[in-house]
Amino acid sequence: MKSNNRRDFLKTSMVAGAAMAVPAFVPSSSLGLGGAVAPSDRIVLGGLGIGPRGTTDLKCFLKNPDVQFVAVADLQQTRREAVKTLVDGTYGSKDCVLYSDMFDILAREDIDSLLIATGDRWHTMASILAAKAGKDVYCEKPCSLTIAESRALANAYRKYGRVYQAGTQRRTIGNFEFAKNLVRDGKLGKLHTIHANTRPPATNHHWLPAEPEPAQDVCDWDRWLGACPWRPYNSAYVRGGWRGHFDFHGGGILEWGSHTVDLCQWAAGRDDTAPVEYVPNADGVECFYADGLKLVMRSEGWMGMGTCSVRYEGDEGWIETGDSGNFILEPKSLRTQQSVFHRAGTDPTTHIRNFLDCVKTRELTNANAAVVAQSHVVCHAAYIAWQLGHKLTFDPIKEEFEGDEEANRMRSRAMREPWHV
């Protein structure tokens, strides 16, 4: 999709020179007639690292008539070819271009936007490189692996003025919006505790047994590792078995907290701040904002509302909801005829539409870089406290831990050359 000025220019030129410029054989769809979207109004989309979750996202993108997916870059041959099969089958063509090197797709000036669904280790790096290349980005979560990466991401999108949407789609799902509105409208009274469903926090530092590296065009192992410390190839890593390994993963707090902590920050109106105290326990972390609001990150004790549940408690009522779309609340008088929700929390359809609309309007998305960076900072700070096993005090303005040099060193990770953010 080109800029509004360019679209207007093209439309004006088309009308002025219609007699000469439009041959009789041009199909009506090329002119935006018959309900089709004209090429000048289409968002030209590419993909980086499209695996299982990325394929779910891609299928949603392909349902939008104002999107034209043209190319994918992936380090794994099987994944590249699977995307081409899906895209070409959808369009009835053979036009989807395959790259193994992401810099080839970043260099294409005709591509407006990118779907980034690599492993977690590449999310920040790829998103920043895309912004520098002038691309708008829809990136799967988590958006960063450290506090430093979170801040670098937000700074890059502010600097380059690109549109960014994190794949934290629950901000665009009805039951979570309903719960947020109960808090914001004061229906629960004064909010005192918010709960985020997270996974068990632990990761490991083990290496899987070395296996022979495949040919570079089958899987480029060195590029797959990116900025992460070198380790020998094992096929389990590239099949999704990287999860749980510290070098590639941010732990269970980040895995689901990138959704649920984000929802809690959103509901409580804390998108621009973070808790100041983090107290770890066996199941997670209890956090406290400067005004005393308590945030509980835990994996146990939920009421069966589905994965990625949240609970908001005020002095006049409470609500708990999750990915099923169902919810339990008190007082029951807060339930309305409209509060019945059928879209699962894992469905990115409306979230992707929000991104596409913002690409056109240049407005902030529901899960823009600034707000997701902030909620990720909270997750990272909590995980640092859990790893160290003691209470930490955090300055949300400086994004520093008070009086704890070890914790402050953990705000970033060493990056293998030549990569940096």
**Which domains are delineated in the chain?**
4-168 (3.40.50.720), 170-202+249-409 (3.30.360.10)
Rounded to whole angstroms, how far apart are CA atoms 160 and 269?
A: 26
pLDDT of residue 336: 83
Tokens representing residue 231 in the block: 């380790």
CA distances from 223 to 148, 236, 359 (A): 22, 16, 30
Rounded to whole angstroms, how far apart are CA atoms 72 and 57?
A: 14
Rounded to whole angstroms, how far apart are CA atoms 286 and 263?
A: 16
What is the per-residue DSSP string for 62-125?
Answer: HT-TTEEEEEEE-SBHHHHHHHHHHHHHHHTSS--EEES-HHHHHT-TT--EEEE---HHHHHH
pLDDT of residue 35: 60
Identify the sign of the CA torsion 273, 410, 75, 51: negative
131 torsion bin: left (phi>0), alpha (psi -120 to 50), beta (else): alpha
Rounded to whole angstroms, how far apart are CA atoms 383 and 275?
A: 13
pLDDT of residue 1: 54
pLDDT in 10s for each residue of the chain, 421 residues: 544 443 343 333 333 333 333 333 444 444 455 567 888 889 999 999 999 999 999 999 999 999 999 999 999 999 999 999 999 999 999 999 999 999 999 999 999 999 999 999 999 999 999 999 999 999 999 999 999 999 999 999 999 999 999 999 999 999 999 999 999 999 999 999 999 999 999 999 999 999 999 999 999 999 999 999 999 999 999 999 999 999 999 999 999 999 999 999 999 999 999 999 999 999 999 999 999 999 999 999 999 999 999 999 999 999 999 999 999 999 999 998 667 898 999 999 999 999 999 999 999 999 999 999 999 999 999 999 999 999 999 999 999 999 999 999 999 999 999 999 9
pLDDT of residue 15: 34
pLDDT of residue 39: 81
pLDDT of residue 339: 77
pLDDT of residue 230: 97
pLDDT of residue 387: 98
Non-local CB neighbours of 348 within 8 Å, separated by 6+ positions: 56, 57, 60, 167, 169
pLDDT of residue 31: 47
Residue 336 and residue 174 in contact, taking contact as beta carbons nearer than 8 Å: no
Kind plus residue range of the DSSP H or E element containing 18: helix 18-21
DSSP state of 417: T
What is the per-residue DSSP string for 335-375?
Answer: --TT----S-TT--HHHHHHHHHHHHH-PPPTT-HHHHHHH
Tokens representing residue 98 in the block: 């395959």
pLDDT of residue 34: 54
